Chains A and B, each alone.
Chain A
Amino acid sequence: MINSLFLISHSGDIFLEKHWKSVISRSVCDYFLEAKEKAGDPENVAPVLQTPHHYLISIYRGKLFFLSVTQTEVPPLFVIEFLHRVADTFQDYFGDCSEVLIKENTVTVYELLEEMLDNGFPLATESNVLKEMIRPPTILRSVVNTLTGGSNVGGTLPTGQLSNVPWRRAGVKYTNNEAYFDVIEEIDAILDKSGTTVFAEIQGVIEACVKLTGMPDLTLSFMNPRLLDDVSFHPCVRFKRWESEHVLSFIPPDGNFRLMSYHVSSQNLVAIPVYVKQNISFLETGSCGRLDITIGPKQTMGKTVESLTVTIPMPKSVLSVNLTATQGTCTFDLTTKVVFWDVGKLNPQKLPNLRGSISIQTGAPKPEENPSINIDMKIQQLAISGLKVSRLDMYGEKYKPFKGVKYVTKAGKFQVRT
């Protein structure tokens, strides 16, 4: 399985290595760095590479490459999924998965990696189990530790791994028992030049934050479960109950977790909350162009569109832009050639507009393709698919928990072609 792991920074600096079997020299990374050099954009590096004696499987997360080395056949997704799990764990522990934070917490990282893999095979990947063994660093604790000589490693050994519900810690206690569920839906869409929908679908997740004492057994039911076309669950969800009754029955992990993710059946027409009127053109002569974008609400179900942002990656030949926005701020990154317009709240009475000119390097040919517009937004208190949670019941414990459900709709990969 996984022989070694190298963490490589954006710039190609190998700053951490860990081996689970015999040590593999870090020179093996040269093959990867070569491929990275060739690909240009780090996103374009192929995740699976072959070298004369090893196979390299890598992911790119948070401007970092997680590069694993293996010597024999292994399902590539197995490794990729695991590496993402490692990155998730880092995020969970340190708040973010970045080079600086990992360098700061090398020892904790090493301890984590030691527990997560044994001989290259995943051992404990549940964050609940890990947190019992290795406590996440906090400022308070680090101060206390330096004063008292205490440590981050849990004194007790994890019991979670042995139970039938390995995702839940034993002996959880809270004074306020609460369970929150966020229904988050994302609209993936491609709109063409005229505004017609080329492709649109809704993907949703239910993120849960459960802080309940003891071993509660929860049942979450929906008003309209038929809406859900394809679902995937956290391992805690009893699949049989879902198949027979379309309810989610589970013993929750402690803390934050993703309960399920779903896909809304494609028969339903997807409501597109905003429309975009755009006109981007490059003149035949004179190496300049015009840009004019207006955004308005379309099907928002009476809710306000918030934190609306527009990202336009310009062709490389664009030199500068001179744009004025009626609302929000507009910036242009000279190195990446990206126009970023932070609109904010969408006011139906006064539609936001961005217009101005674009100047192109003199002598460069006119870009043959207009840039596409990527839109990001958020609508609170609305699940665009119409999914509704009907109730949450708890069994197995006596107390009465506080329950809450929140709905949010976001733009996923929302793209307008021009």
Chain B
Amino acid sequence: MSTTALYNDQQGGAEAAVEAGQETTATSSSSGAAFGLFSTDFKKMNGGFSSLRLEAAGAMRTVLVSAESLQLTLKPELTQEEQALTHAAGAGSGRPKETLKAGNEDLKEMLESNKESLKLEAMKRIVQLISKGKNASDLFPAVVKNVASKNIELKKLVYVYLVRYAEEQQDLALLSISTFQRALKDPNQFIRASALRVLSSIRVPIIVPIMMLAIKEAASDLSPYVRKTSAHAIQKLYSLDADQKEQLIEVIEKLLKDKSTLVAGSVVMAFEEVCPDRIDLIHINYRKLCNLLVDVEEWGQVVIINMLTRYARTQFASPWKEDGIFDENEKAFYDSDSEEKQGQREAKPYIMDPDHRLLLRNTKPLLQSRNTAVVMAVAQLYWHLAPRHEVSIVTKSLVRLLRSHREVQYVVLQNIATMSIQRKGMFEPHMKSFYVRSTDATHIKTLKLEILTNLANEANISTILREFQTYVKSQDKAFAAATIQAIGRCATNISEVTDTCLNGLVLLLSNRDGRKMRGLVRSSPGQPLLVAWVVSTETVVAESVVVIKKLLQTQPTQHCDIIKHMAKLFDNITVPMARASILWLMGEYCERVPKIAPDVLRKMAKTFTSEEDIVKLQTVNLAAKLYLTNSKQTKLLTQYILNLGKYDQNYDIRDRTRFIRQLIVPSEKSGALNKYARRILLASKPAPVLESAFKDRDRFQLGTLSHSLNIKTTGYQELSDWPAVAPDPSVRNVEVIEPVQEWAPSLGKAKKPKSDKFYSDDEEKEEEGSGSGSEDSSSSSSSSGSSSEESGSESEEESSRDLEKTSSDSEKSSSGSEASSSESESQQKKKKRAKKVTPRKSKQAAADSDSDENGNGPVGKTSSSSAESSSDSESDSEEDSSSDDSPAPQKKTVAKTKPKVMSPFNLIKEIKENLKVDLQNVGFTGLTLLRAADKKLQWNIHFHVVTFICVTAIPVTGFPSLLPPPSFDQRKSDKIRPPGTLRFVLFFSLLLFASHSSVLFVCCVSSLELAEWDFMVLYAMFVRLKHVCFSLPDSAWHKSHTNPRDIVPAACPGSSPGSPPGGTCPKHLTREASRRHPDQIPEPPQLAPLDVKEQWLYSESLPDD
């Protein structure tokens, strides 16, 4: 088929479309014809995809006409088909089906009538069918005809039908597309929006290009409502065809910049669905989103808050750090580097980033929202982001939510339970709000109990126990049993009440014994608090026994009477777990109750055969222990029990018996173990730890589904650790277009001018107007900090623009000389500084200082970049080249190579002349990396690699043949914007060309913030790949060159394509574990030793001490 060939250069979606096309042509002639028309038009469209709005529109009009003409011709044929079907069905299965068909025939007639009211009535009946889950797909052709009806209700119902069945009747659904196409051009924004909505809801893969076009157009629509719809459509298209991701991200990026509150929520939702890890898209929109937040509709607020929580965790320094530790590190560093002047901000114990503060401040009012989801979202934001002492402001709001519906209570209580484990103080004043009502649902009761237990401390334990006393009597037995467990936990946690609880529980047990015991309890006023517990239910008793067992174990003091008491109760208790617990207690403390224990064993010997397995096991256990301590009395009993056990039906018991026999009964075979039997069986056992079931839930972000279910759900985005050092805050500065921009003394953060106004001003104005106001508003930013920030933000702004320019320059042409000259000067300055840096005491310190240097780098750099002199650059690049050529003088270059990082373009120039051979490898390596990254779906990596290729390979060699995806060109121009990212790319290009890449790697890693695992993985892969590529013989090289798809980066097993997204190759992740904050949730991967070569390089890079 000729179309196939034409489509071949297009990616996935189009290919799928062609397949679908072939299929349909085969099945139905008439619809196939329609389809054929479509596909030719597609061809036209796709051919000139970049240049062609008008053309596409024209094509669509053709489709329109053809489809409409077909509509009419289509009908009779399909009716015949239907009739045939009806016949077959009627003949086959008899009455019921026939009537159904008849009913549908009836509907069809109504739909084909000329009266609107009849049609409407028919549609209503059809919708009722759909709502009941009955199949009405056979009416599709008749319904679709009405898609262009004038009657709005009819139209809407047709839409409902269409969206429901389009997936099943794809070819027929295409007939309706024309109507939507027309409506997309309608002057009324609502009609445009609803057309786009339905068009994007029709899950027919073949219309993907049309949808894409419509989305792109709608994203730049004047009406915010239409733009909002396009944001929704993005998600739909993405779920239909994930291959459109690249283009969709572009649209998302555009929509993220939108200033309308209507759009914000929807586009962030799309962002979360399509590219949640493209955090770099958020940077410049961060402040805008924070400021818009209050005015966004409530559902959008939830999504934005959740996204910003994740964002903030990657971008800001932890506000939880212990001041002491933090201080020490900083001092150690600054003592050694007296030249460092930019350190004022970091030298302070901890000053919150103003952006961080902005987020906290702007979300706080939302705690007053009527929407519980919003309140919860803010609460989790504070929990995960706010300094410890500020978290408690969410308490009241969370407690308020407890007044809401049962389901809301459930989720909120779950979250409070997790919070209350770590922070008792937060909820203690509201303890009474967690008192249980008899009308609460069981799961609510259990959760409240959990929280009360978490909140218990020495001061309030008596109140709580009194409350528990009421609960134990509850008619809800599951709840009563849970209460006993809770008492057990309180008893272990608070030593003052252990005895009281224990006695209370024993009394509770006693009642099992019947009326006599109750009288006994009443007559003994010795236990004032717990006397009243009167319980007789099996489950409760069982629970008590188990809890008592645990309590006795934690308190191995004299509890003979309790054990004796339990022995007395033994006959009346039937729950296996409880019986087993008592037997275990007897065995464990048999020396304390020497008279009773053998008697219990005697009783057990009688009933052994009728016991549950777990009881049998404990009986064997008890027998063994008694045999060891009191063999005179129990020898025969033990042997009897062991014999019974030997022939038990359960293999577990037979095994245990055999083992015990060999262990305790001395014989020739048993050997040395026999001597230690006593020590083995009667070793002192560690007490069980009674802890909350919510203990491990804090690994999930609060308020998420994962937290609620305590499993990792699909699509759950892990909350990252705080970065050890906050990444460059300047990335959030909004770009200013004016060449000269007077900056008011501000922190560069936009603040909303007035609360009542809705955000609609220009961003620039906002920046200016708010500048002065924002300083006083953030209490935590001291004046010294802000002053350094000021200069920083200003110059960084410039630098980011500069960098952008350079990057684009270098892409366009291979010269890039002007840019590189300024770069190199900055490098010189850096070098001077670097030379003065004294050798580090440890690698840790080195890493610290380097990263800091990087953070402050742009300031120094841009100050020099403003001066225009290109003369100095020559010498530097010479030096670079010399170091490149000769790998020998390693030690010398350690300090020097750092600054080189800033001038890759010189290198590129040189390499262009000298290293032609390697360049091929460069492109190839990059490509392979790209494939690997593609497979791993790691967008960060992907992006870095792509930019790397763009910056290095293309300008130097003109490698277009190696870079097949056409989207590259679009990508590179847009995505190199954040200066931080560009820096990565620069590092990377340098890495590639330098021969001592590992040394450089150390520099890179230390100057980037170390949470950037992605980057390290990339590097690791790179190193491996480089070896592989370089060592390949030429022939193999070319072979793989011709078919790059076959190449798998097999060198590193840890980062193979099959590993989960976000997975890193543990082998190459080195030496970073110690830098993590102890509070941070996921552990870094365990590290394996380095390669010999790498090891050597590392040791070279370190100053020996």
Q: Interface on A for B, CB 8 Å cutoff? A: 1, 14-19, 21-23, 26, 39, 41, 43-44, 46-48, 50, 55, 58-61, 70-78, 80-82, 84, 106-107, 109-111, 114, 118-119, 121-123, 125, 149, 151-155, 157-158, 161-162, 164, 166, 188, 190, 192, 198-199, 201, 203, 229-235, 238-240, 243, 258, 261, 263, 266, 284, 313, 315-316, 365, 367-369, 371-372, 374, 413, 415, 417
Contacts and interface: CB of A to CB of B under 8 A. Distances in A.
15 contacts: A16-B132, A50-B709, A50-B711, A59-B405, A60-B406, A73-B706, A75-B376, A75-B705, A77-B703, A114-B159, A149-B120, A153-B156, A162-B262, A198-B432, A229-B396
Interface stretch (B438-446, B836-844, B899-907): B438-446
B523 to A, nearest CB: 16
Interface in B380-405: 396-397, 399-400, 403, 405
Given A73-B715, A232-B400, A368 B534 contact: yes
Given A21-B239, A44-B443, A80 B132 contact: no
Nearest to B463: A198
Nearest to A233: B368
B716 interface: yes
A150 to B, nearest CB: 9
B441 A161 contact: no
B755 A238 contact: yes
B160 interface: yes
Contacts of A19: 164
A268 B134 CA distance: 58
Contact of A152 (B153, B365, B475, B535): B153
B464 interface: no
Contacts of A153: 152-153, 156
A415 B438 contact: yes
A102 to B, nearest CB: 10
A100 to B, nearest CB: 15
B411 to A, nearest CB: 5
Contacts of B405: 59, 61, 80, 84
B131 A16 contact: yes
B372 A107 contact: no
Contacts of A261: 370, 400, 403
A39 B443 CA distance: 10
Nearest to B442: A44
Nearest to B123: A107
Given A151-B152, A198-B435, A372-B438, A77 B376 contact: yes
Interface in B647-677: none
Contacts of B790: none
A417 B131 CA distance: 46
B411 A43 contact: no
Nearest to B471: A369
A240 B372 contact: no
B187 interface: no
A198 B466 CA distance: 11
Given A47-B410, A59-B407, A121-B299, A199 B435 contact: yes
Contacts of A84: 405, 407-408
Contacts of B189: 162
A188 B430 CA distance: 14
A221 B473 CA distance: 48
Nearest to B432: A199
The majority secondary structure among interface residues of chain B is helix
Contacts of A154: 152
B269 to A, nearest CB: 6
B188 A157 contact: yes
Given A23-B167, A81-B371, A367 B475 contact: yes
A76 B708 contact: yes
A23 B117 CA distance: 29
A285 to B, nearest CB: 10
B950 to A, nearest CB: 33
The 3 closest A-B pairs by CB, nearest first: A72-B715, A240-B755, A151-B153
B785 interface: no
Given A81-B371, A107-B124, A119-B235, A155 B473 contact: no
Given A44-B443, A235-B370, A415-B438, A78 B403 contact: no
Contact of B128 (A43, A107, A198): A107
Contact of A46 (B295, B302, B365, B443): B443
Q: Which one of B189, B266, B297, B397 has the highest number of Cβ atoms from chain A below 10 Å of its Cβ?
A: B297
Contact of B372 (A81, A198, A231, A374): A81
A238 B757 CA distance: 11
A282 B706 CA distance: 47
Given A48-B708, A162-B262, A199-B432, 16 more contacts: A16-B132, A17-B133, A47-B411, A48-B709, A72-B713, A111-B157, A118-B197, A149-B120, A157-B191, A161-B262, A199-B435, A239-B755, A261-B400, A261-B403, A263-B403, A313-B439
A212 to B, nearest CB: 20
Nearest to B757: A164
Given A73-B714, A235-B298, A78 B535 contact: no
B235 A151 contact: no
A154 B156 CA distance: 11
A368 B298 CA distance: 48
Nearest to B265: A121
Interface of B: 115-117, 120, 124, 127-128, 130-133, 151-154, 156-157, 159-160, 164, 167, 188-191, 197, 200-201, 203, 223-225, 229, 232, 235-236, 239, 262, 266, 269, 294-295, 297-299, 302, 306, 365, 368-373, 375-377, 396-397, 399-400, 403, 405-408, 410-412, 429, 432-433, 435, 437-439, 441-443, 467, 470, 473-475, 515, 534-536, 703-706, 708-709, 711, 713-717, 755-756, 758
A215 to B, nearest CB: 14
B127 A110 contact: yes
Contacts of B117: 149
Nearest to A7: B131
Contacts of A413: 437, 439
Nearest to A161: B225
Given A55-B709, A166-B297, A374-B439, A232 B756 contact: no
B157 A107 contact: yes
A203 B235 contact: no
A122 B407 CA distance: 19
A89 to B, nearest CB: 14
B736 to A, nearest CB: 27
Contact of B133 (A26, A157, A230): A26
Nearest to B128: A106
Nearest to B367: A232
A72 B706 CA distance: 10
A110 B131 contact: yes
A82 B405 CA distance: 12
A222 B535 CA distance: 51
B131 A114 contact: no
Contacts of A21: 239
Nearest to A110: B127
A121 B368 contact: no
Contacts of B377: 75
Contacts of B475: 315-316, 367, 369
A111 B439 contact: no
B203 A75 contact: no
Contacts of A22: 167, 203
A41 B439 CA distance: 12
A313 B439 CA distance: 9
A110 B439 CA distance: 34
Contacts of B115: 149
Given A22-B167, A121-B232, A76 B269 contact: no
Nearest to A71: B714
A58 B441 CA distance: 15
A105 to B, nearest CB: 10
A109 B204 CA distance: 26
Nearest to B429: A266
Nearest to A84: B405
A73 B717 contact: yes
Nearest to A1: B269
